[in-house]
Structure 1
């Protein structure tokens, strides 16, 4: 069994002060760094995902419904798309960043890609090449991108654990619904 840590979307726009701030986001960033420093040696790989929108179409809206459309966030190359500074210690251990959502909505880290030897490679293939069979998922937001990434990890037949103390959700109702969905799909919820 080979375990990887997937750090989901711990970006400035998703934390306090950002365009789509999630309460507790900066605390989650600091907690992830502490976790990686204390437990990094337990992982064969540590990766991060990031929204990296260029023109995601109807995903951005001046009048968002907060279901399918959202305020402008994580625009490629802007400060809002950068990782939280509290995450810096964890980023020292990150082997690859998978950027997603350039031209469409993308919630799951498995929709992202990174460059390897001049080629774009997706998260599932990257993990398979390293014989990863188990993943821990942390980050923002529990009820959106963490949920989607964990569900896709399960679909890739990876033993999937969500470390709840290292996630932050947008709203209690949607977070609880996401946790129920994850439990039903076979994810382990810890912390």
Structure 2
């Protein structure tokens, strides 16, 4: 049994001052860096996902064409190659083995919806690496962390969410997301 770390969307547009910044985003970036420095050797593989939306079009309705509703559509964010799409500077990515880009022409909430730079699916890389367990950290608890953790459970992985290393858009919705992950069979632990 091998454990991996999923670092979900710790990008400039999701941290304070970004297009969809969440409170605590920068602290999550720094905390994940500390986790990797102190416990990186506990992970057989480290994955980092990032929204990497197309600059043209609405990305399958993900970008609002008018006023965003902040539920099903959003302001423009994390456009591929933009400063907002880059990982936050407090996140040290030197330990990342595989980068997963998601949301090209689509919503892309889950890390499972993305691909590696070589075009491989996450499933392919997980299988090749023999991963059976994952720890999940990142942004935002009530959207991409939630969907990624639930998808990992659906794919038969044992899932732990490190609660001290996630931050929600909405604190109440973040609590609901963590409860939903627990109800689905995941474990929420302090980081």
What is the TM-score of this pair, normalised by structure 1?
A: 0.95
RMSD of equivalent CA atoms? 0.8
Runs of at least 4 residues off by over 4 Å: none
The answer to whether 1:131 aligns with 2:130 is: yes
State the alpha-carbon separation in 2 of the partners of residues 129 and 16 from structure 1: 36
CA deviation vs aligned residue, 1:93-115 (integer Å, no higher than 9, x gap): 10110000010101000000003
State the alpha-carbon separation in 2 of the partners of residues 134 and 159 from structure 1: 5
Give 3-state SS (helix, strand or coil) of 2:137's partner: strand
The answer to whether 1:112 aligns with 2:114 is: yes
State the alpha-carbon separation in 2 of the partners of residues 40 and 16 from structure 1: 26
Give 3-state SS (helix, strand or coil) of 1:181's partner: helix
State the alpha-carbon separation in 2 of the partners of residues 100 and 173 from structure 1: 26
What is the TM-score of this pair, normalised by structure 2?
A: 0.95
State the alpha-carbon separation in 1 of the partners of residues 171 and 91 from structure 2: 24
Give 1:96's aligned residue: 98
Gaps of 5+ in 1: none
- 2:83 corresponds, among 53, 56, 79, to 79
Gaps of 5+ in 2: none
State the alpha-carbon separation in 1 of the partners of residues 161 and 153 from structure 2: 11
Question: How many residue pairs align between the two structures?
Answer: 186
Give 3-state SS (helix, strand or coil) of 1:57's partner: coil
1:9-28 alignment, distance < 5 Å: 9-28=9-28
Q: Which moved more, 1:56-65 or 1:141-150?
A: 56-65
